[in-house]
Chains A and B, each alone.
Chain A
């Protein structure tokens, strides 16, 4: 498709389990971003990729969170030993080029709603 896609759309898991969230960016977009949106909160930046490199991981909330990207394609966000506070909508976005800076429009996927019981 032409837009950013994410899977699964919904994920319910038990506390302590690991989950993996997937993002397919728009073809040709070298920059990819992960955000988290907890109930009643704004979007919280987690990590970005320029190509398959992640220069800034400081937004990841804990060492239970990790992300990787294959080339300039799919990215996966992994949460290990999930906790109830991890419950949120996880959004992925892509843009043409991070280095083009702020003027690049970020295109968002529909999100993955994660519920940790």
Chain B
């Protein structure tokens, strides 16, 4: 079975500061990795995903995440955050053979302070 640990439940950060949201996973098989974001009063949206190839993946709004197999991590980073980035961020994994559900972490609430 897979599991996901998001080490920080809440991360406050000032606007234009960098941020890193940590995600570690546990799995005995190869996995794909995802970050989902939930803006206030909205549904979950896919932010970015790692399937294969380059271990650094980017989203269209400036976030990036790096898959580190040796450390079983998939931390999410942004060099300069905006107020609009305030949201809850969920890390998730799935077996790359499919036919199993996504396994989510408990989420990290990012609060950007003006």
Contacts and interface: CB of A to CB of B under 8 A. Distances in A.
Contact of B49 (A4, A91, A105): A105
Contact of A99 (B41, B92, B98): B98
Contact of A111 (B9, B43, B97, B106): B43
A59 B96 CA distance: 20
B4 A48 contact: no
A42 B96 contact: no
Nearest to A9: B41
Contacts of B90: 42-43
B87 interface: no
Interface in A1-58: 3-4, 33, 35, 40-45, 48, 56
B99 A101 contact: yes
Contact of B96 (A41, A48, A91, A102): A102
Contacts of B6: 42
Given A42-B4, A45-B101, A105 B44 contact: no
Contacts of B49: 105
15 contacts: A4-B43, A33-B102, A41-B106, A42-B6, A42-B105, A43-B104, A45-B102, A93-B44, A100-B98, A101-B96, A102-B94, A102-B96, A106-B102, A108-B44, A110-B43
Interface string A92-113: 0100001111110111111100
Interface of A: 3-4, 33, 35, 40-45, 48, 56, 59, 91, 93, 98-103, 105-111
A107 B44 CA distance: 8
Contacts of B36: 108
B46 interface: yes
A101 B97 contact: yes
B102 A103 contact: no
Contacts of A108: 36, 43-45
A42 B101 contact: no
A103 B30 CA distance: 13
A91 B104 contact: no
A103 B44 contact: no
